[in-house]
Amino acid sequence: MTDHLSDLDVAELFPRTPFSPDAPTPRISVLGTGYLGATHAVAMAQLGMEVVGVDTDPHKVAALAAGKVPFFEPGLDELLEEQLASGRLRFTTDVAEAVGWADVHFVCVGTPQTKTSHAADLRFVEAATTAIAENLTHDALIVGKSTVPVGTGARLRELVARTQPAGVRTELVWNPEFLREGKAVQDTLHPDRIVMGGTTPESEALLRRVYAGPIAEGSPVVVCDLPTAELVKVSANAFLATKISFINAIASVCEAADADVTVLADALGHDTRIGRQFLDAGLGFGGGCLPKDIRALMHRANELGAHQASSLLQQVDEINMGQRARVIELALDACEGSVLNRRVGVLGAAFKPHTDDVRDSPALNVAAALHLRGAQVTVYDPQAGDTARASFPTLGYATDVEEAVEGADVVLVLTEWDEFLDAEPARLASLTRRPHVIDARGRLDARRWTDAGWSFAGLGRTAA
């Protein structure tokens, strides 16, 4: 009898559902192939699943399909090549084909800040979710990973219900991602927690199958409701931002009192309730996540009437932005009040080391501000030269540290790459016009630099 059934009949008689405990290994689609999505797609393949990565940008898809990660992320290139070769991983712009093929669809698109307010721009999340819902051919689990304001998942559930074809069963859950750029591969393969928000027993079981590897290794699983899962993510970033602004606020007390914030942070960090991480005082936080996430949380908290959370984060943001102004002041001080026609060597453009990401980079912000005040600014970054040049084409760019500091009236260390911490201060001093260094990340060995003839300025360490 079955010999005479068409494909359509088979689909009707045996609708594919990934929710059944004995369904075959789920196939994965990942919508959005930026830092989050590309890493997630590769990691899912590494964990043994068949994966398709989907993006609307044909250039990104072509690069990834050819084994080239379109950004710098340590270890990802190798893993991408390995997984493409395994045959488990592919990339496409054809969302209909990908959604028709896969069982679990991860939404990994960006949620940038809107142009006119602090709110998150949810257009990409909505477009990706709509594309999934419109193209479903069988039961599926939609998993939000993008960072979204609390309440988004509930709205997306309504969108899916309105859009999906009749007869298909879907669930939409939230499973936020906590990966750090620069450590994205490690964080994705070995997450320090797996949050599953808004699951039923069936979708929880399915997600546990997807994450079987990390769970077996001991990654804790937190099962919660949808709004809690959404809030866990933004609260984690808000806490990290608050920790950084706290130490930066204390740094200004240290300066006024002739204390050293780097020693103070070490001492605080020995208290396991506090911990040493994210207590590096300096130029403050930037990047594609912390700044926009705390602003989106401020906005959402205000909408919900939780004004205290919003005003706390407003302070965090203000302290953070103030650090950039402080470093600009230090540069002006080093040049007797004006940088007009002075040469400024800038070491670092990325928002932190081990990435080429310059989104909301404090380093470039300072470099551009000094350029606007008439300085001749030359920037060097071991990885972010190209991305920096694309965003700030009017700055000068060097191909190494020595070229950046040559003839400089002041040198600013704005991103703490090892290459700068390990640099030879005596050799560099001989290249400058005047050996003034501003350590905006608090990571240089002040004694080594002063011994080599540099006048040294830092944040929160006047004594240094």
The residues assigned a catalytic role are 289
Kindly state the number of chain residues that form the binding site for ligand UGA, as judged by CB under 6 A.
22
Q: Which of 111, 113, 146, 147 touches ligand UGA by CB under 6 A?
A: 147
Q: Which of 352, 354, 371, 436 touches ligand UGA by CB under 6 A?
A: 352
Q: How far is the CB of 402 from ligand UGA (least distance, A)?
A: 24
Tokens 């990340």 locate to 441
* Encoded amino acid at 135, one letter: N
Contact 72, 181 (CB under 8 A): no
Q: How far is the CB of 241 from ligand UGA (least distance, A)?
A: 8
Q: Which of 122, 229, 290, 330 touches ligand UGA by CB under 6 A?
A: 290
Report the distance separating Cα 285 and Cα 313, nearest Å. Answer: 13
Binding region for ligand UGA (CB under 6 A) out of 48-56, 151-159, 279-287, 370-378 = 279-287
Other residues' Cβ atoms within 10 Å of the Cβ of residue 386: 13
- 33 touches ligand UGA (CB under 6 A): no
Report the distance separating Cα 341 and Cα 333, nearest Å. Answer: 15
Q: How far is the CB of 63 from ligand UGA (least distance, A)?
A: 21
- Cα torsion 62, 41, 134, 141 to 10°: value is 170
Q: Which of 53, 198, 284, 460 touches ligand UGA by CB under 6 A?
A: 284
| Helix or strand (DSSP H, E) at 438 | strand 436-439
Q: How far is the CB of 44 from ligand UGA (least distance, A)?
A: 17
Closer Cβ to ligand UGA, 164 or 383, answer by number: 383
CA Rg value for the chain = 25
- 280 touches ligand UGA (CB under 6 A): yes
- 382 touches ligand UGA (CB under 6 A): no
Report the distance separating Cα 269 and Cα 277, nearest Å. Answer: 7
- 174 touches ligand UGA (CB under 6 A): no
Other residues' Cβ atoms within 10 Å of the Cβ of residue 217: 11
- 411 touches ligand UGA (CB under 6 A): no
Other residues' Cβ atoms within 10 Å of the Cβ of residue 29: 28
Closer Cβ to ligand UGA, 101 or 178, answer by number: 178
Closer Cβ to ligand UGA, 168 or 268, answer by number: 268
Report the distance separating Cα 147 and Cα 3, nearest Å. Answer: 48
Report the distance separating Cα 252 and Cα 350, nearest Å. Answer: 24
Report the distance separating Cα 123 and Cα 173, nearest Å. Answer: 18
Q: Which of 128, 244, 347, 410 touches ligand UGA by CB under 6 A?
A: 244
- 240 touches ligand UGA (CB under 6 A): yes
Q: How far is the CB of 122 from ligand UGA (least distance, A)?
A: 16
Closer Cβ to ligand UGA, 255 or 280, answer by number: 280
Q: How far is the CB of 5 from ligand UGA (least distance, A)?
A: 47
Binders of ligand UGA in range 214-233 (CB under 6 A): none
Collapsed DSSP state (helix, strand, coil) of residue 131: helix
- Give me 358's structure tokens: 């310059």
- Give me 111's structure tokens: 């949620």
Strand runs labelled E in 34-169: 51-54, 89-92, 104-107, 140-144
Residues that bind ligand UGA (CB under 6 A): 147, 177-181, 237, 240, 244, 278-280, 282, 284-287, 289-290, 293, 351-352
